[in-house]
Amino acid sequence: MAPASPPPPRLVHVITGLNPGGAEAMCVALAVRLARHAHLPWEQGVISLMPEGPLAAPLHAAGIPVIFCGLRRPLQAPLALWRLAEALRFFQPHVIQSWMYHADLLTGLALRLPGIAAHPALVWGLHNGSLDPAVLPRATRWIVRILARASAWMPDAVVSCAEAARTVHQDAGYRPRRWEVIPNGIDTDRFRPDPALRLAARRAWNLPEDVPVLGLAARDHPVKDLPTFARAVATLAQQVPALRCVCCGQGLDAENTRVVSMLREAGILERCVLLGLERDMPRFWNGVDVAISSSRGEALPLGLAEAMACGVPVAATDVGDTAQLLGECGRLAPPGDAAALARAARWVLEHAASLRTPARARILARFSLAACVERYAALYAALSGRSP
């Protein structure tokens, strides 16, 4: 009689929240893909420190259990820590992947509490390419300092999604025992050129097919530097009178009076369609001609990679690993330089037709989700003592 096969290893993702964002999207994509990994399927769970967000839906659909710790305010951190420890005792994981600073810290603390029998390996995830005090809250900067000191002994490994993220955290004092750089990956079956989606998007936005459209996927946060975006579009609109912009993301909606006032003062409000949170990003990217980013800090911008997978070239600021992402499939400008960003966007608009195929080809070759998942799976297998 053949011996029974061992149960699958248990992997738990701990993340600050499941609202739309690059790290959040990568966490969900990785969990869903690992759930059906051909060689080493993982029994998984996800713990969100904050209440339920929109990105919980794909996890539910994949049958991955999700526990929410209810963290809404900093003063609730002790309660969230207790709930996190309870959730880890329930899952008894072999490997824990934490995503973002607050999750890194609270997970490390929770593992010092009794009751987690499996002695899991802990992997921290770094998805921030800038520690600029102008955009990073003081409390978060204090957490980074604590994590830097603890990095030599608390995590078993640290994964950053870009070389820029590794460099900035090394400069901040991170010294982990094992450091991996695993670039974010894109589901190129989901994000692909689709003329039907383009037509549907233009109809939904009430924009003609032949109108040049810039697409901005961001959130209302200082690091995204929306004022530079507004000034760049105002400059470009003087040269391209038919120009329109479609903006999506948290806070980019008509109810945000600060953003609306900023666009009005720049003279571009009537050119902009403000969608707020957008659930159908493949449709969004297929509907635009050029993706634009004015960010002051990125590691590896997942949204721009999604755009390129849809055959959309990019005009962006030269931050983090954005240059490595774009290659020759777009143009870069210094952060904070609206005039240079306008010039970059105009060049990309003029050459968009010749850049679409190379943009998608670059994602297929260098930033596929399949390759990303295999690297994470190999790391987890090594840390858990399981062979893939």
156 and 297, same domain (yes or no): no
253 and 108, same domain (yes or no): no
Which pLDDT score is estimated for 3?
A: 57
DSSP 274: E
CB-neighbour burial class of residue 139 (10 A; exposed 0-12, middle 13-18, buried 19+):
exposed
Kindly state whether residue 342 falls inside one of the protein's structural domains.
yes
Kindly state whether residue 175 falls inside one of the protein's structural domains.
yes
- Write out residues in the chain with pLDDT < 70, as ranges: 1-6, 38-40, 118, 386-388
Which pLDDT score is estimated for 4?
A: 59
Q: Residue 16 belongs to a domain with what CATH number?
A: 3.40.50.2000
Q: Which domain holds residue 66?
A: 10-185+368-384
Kindly state whether residue 1 falls inside one of the protein's structural domains.
no
Structural contact between residues 258 and 220, judged by C-beta atoms closer than 8 angstroms: yes
User: 56-84 in b/e burial notation, b at 16+ Cβ within 10 A?
Assistant: beebeeeebebbbbebeeeeebeebbebb
The pLDDT tens digits for 62-73 are 999 999 999 998
Which pLDDT score is estimated for 118?
A: 67
340 and 380, same domain (yes or no): no
Which pLDDT score is estimated for 79?
A: 93
165 and 273, same domain (yes or no): no
268 and 171, same domain (yes or no): no
26 and 106, same domain (yes or no): yes
Which pLDDT score is estimated for 38?
A: 61
Which pLDDT score is estimated for 246?
A: 99
First to last CA, the chain: 24
Q: Which tokens belong to 228?
A: 């530079």
Kindly state whether residue 169 falls inside one of the protein's structural domains.
yes
User: 94-113 in b/e burial notation, b at 16+ Cβ within 10 A?
Assistant: bbbbbbbbbbbbbbbebbee
27 and 164, same domain (yes or no): yes
Kindly state whether residue 190 falls inside one of the protein's structural domains.
no
228 and 335, same domain (yes or no): yes
175 and 301, same domain (yes or no): no
Q: How many domains does the chain have?
A: 2
63 and 112, same domain (yes or no): yes
376 and 350, same domain (yes or no): no
Kindly state whether residue 2 falls inside one of the protein's structural domains.
no
β-pair type (213-217, 43-48): unpaired
Q: Which tokens belong to 284?
A: 């969004």
